[in-house]
Structure 1
Amino acid sequence: MDKGPLHDALIAGFEALSPQLQAAARYVVDNPRDVALLSMREQARRAELQPATMTRLAKHLGYDGYDAIRTLYKDAMRDRLAGFAGKAGAQAQHQKLLGDGALAAEILASMREQIAHLAAPHALPRLAAAATHLAQARTVYCLGLRASHPVAWHLHYILSLSGGKSVLLDGIAGTGADPIAQAEKDDALLVVSIMPYTRTSIEIAEYARSQGVPVIAVTDSEVSPLALMADASVLVQTDSPSFFHSLVPAFAVAEVLGALIAGHGGERTLAALKRSDAWLDAVQAHLPASTVRTGS
């Protein structure tokens, strides 16, 4: 949620507020998702204010209390997540106005900005911390459900090629999560989930956490259910001009983590990759380079 429902009103009336109310208003303007998801006391703590200040801001705006503002923001978030069909309708109108090429350019520009965000100075330490946790784990359990599944599978595949012991939590007959029962404190759970968060992913992460298994999250907000419980988290942006949220940044994270973890393995990784190459050659998994046309 880029802008909350009170964004414009708070900006318009900002100068008339007392310094403390200005600080509260600034928090609400800058953190609309937090307003929807966090308790009033937690919001006040993050804003370095007393909870009573948040209540005073609500009453200044004509509400009985701050819970009314939280409800307003929750409803706005729920409307934003009204489903793919509703978003598709908005996209269709936008696409009709702009044309296919222009909409494609918008989507690609959005992806470019999201990748650039991952390379920002404040984001790189998160990637490094997640890679360190995973590289030190005896076994990495990879979990991603619904749209997040291919991201988790991609990292699992990279780790498998490079000799890392990786278990993908995916299986038939409802047994997909069963291997996590064998996880211990020197293992790690890598879980991918973005809003709207998949219930089962959160429940499996909570179970792992309760057993002392480190949880490494790829998610979309500091206040997502995963980020709040994770030992390390990498945050990705997902908004898109498309009706479907963007998974490009999450795939980029999987590739970066795979490379960094492999780098931690040193000679062991090199030996594993040689074995992988030998196996792929033995079963002729790929077309020989000599048969591939390079164009004229």
Structure 2
Amino acid sequence: MRFGYKILPFSLLLALGGCVTVPGGPSVNVLPAPGKSFETFQREDATCRQWAERQLGAPSQEALDQKVAAGAVAGTAVGAGVGAALGSASGHAGTGALIGAASGLLLGTAVGSESGQVYGREAQRRYDNSYLQCMYSYGNQIPGRSRPAVTHTVAAAPPPPPPAPVVVAPAPPPPPVEIIQAPPPEPEVYPAPAEVYVNEAPQFIYSPPLGMYVAVGVPYDLMYNGSEFFYFYAGRWYHGPYYNGPWMPLQRRSYPSVFVRYRIDSIRHYRDVEYRRYDRDRGHYNGRMHRPAYRERVIIERR
């Protein structure tokens, strides 16, 4: 029986203390802006989660558990003292102290758990506010509440004239709102493309669906629009004056329309279709072709 009194307080402490948790992420809904890729939205979401955690100060689970434990310890001490006093009056001071301690622990743990939950809700609210401000600065959509429905009422008799206005002193201005500046978006990184190694200038054939020339017979995704060459490497487009560079990153705002309409797998499909048509009867192929002058590879020493 004594062992049951001793183990009961710790069981209550574990049961109530496990209900308090710190924010594990945003509890609000944010949608990507129209036209924004999901990969970009994921990067912004990760950046804003880190930003919200830094603004919150990252309260640890241990800090919340300590609030529950503090209430339990205080309640146990007070309950043990009261129980011992009552037990002493009846001749059972030890039993009274155990019962008082268990009762005090139950009450103290409940108070500490409520304090920890209030602390956790406040931390979640501050986390969500910082997260929303950051995602909004990137241009993402924050779904709002729907407008209430408009109801039409039958016109009633005109109300009586209002009483004379009461002059009321103006309310003080609201305190300034602290605006948290989100970190600037990270610049897009373009990896250095692999150099194009060929023994002769590649053959380019014109693809009508693409509206550009595509290189065939080489293991590179090369295209030509009549004035400059384009090279697809590691998920990025580059452009340059020759079929083997030098290559410069092509910003998305400068993409030709074909790169906006088609992904690289569709471009390769149209290239292969035109190449099979060319390869079946090269002597009578009536499509347009372009073979640039051969240019030796220029080695650029990187220091």
**TM-score over 0.5 (shorter chain):** no
Larger radius of gyration: 2
**TM bin (shorter chain):** under 0.3
Q: TM-score, normalised by structure 2?
A: 0.21
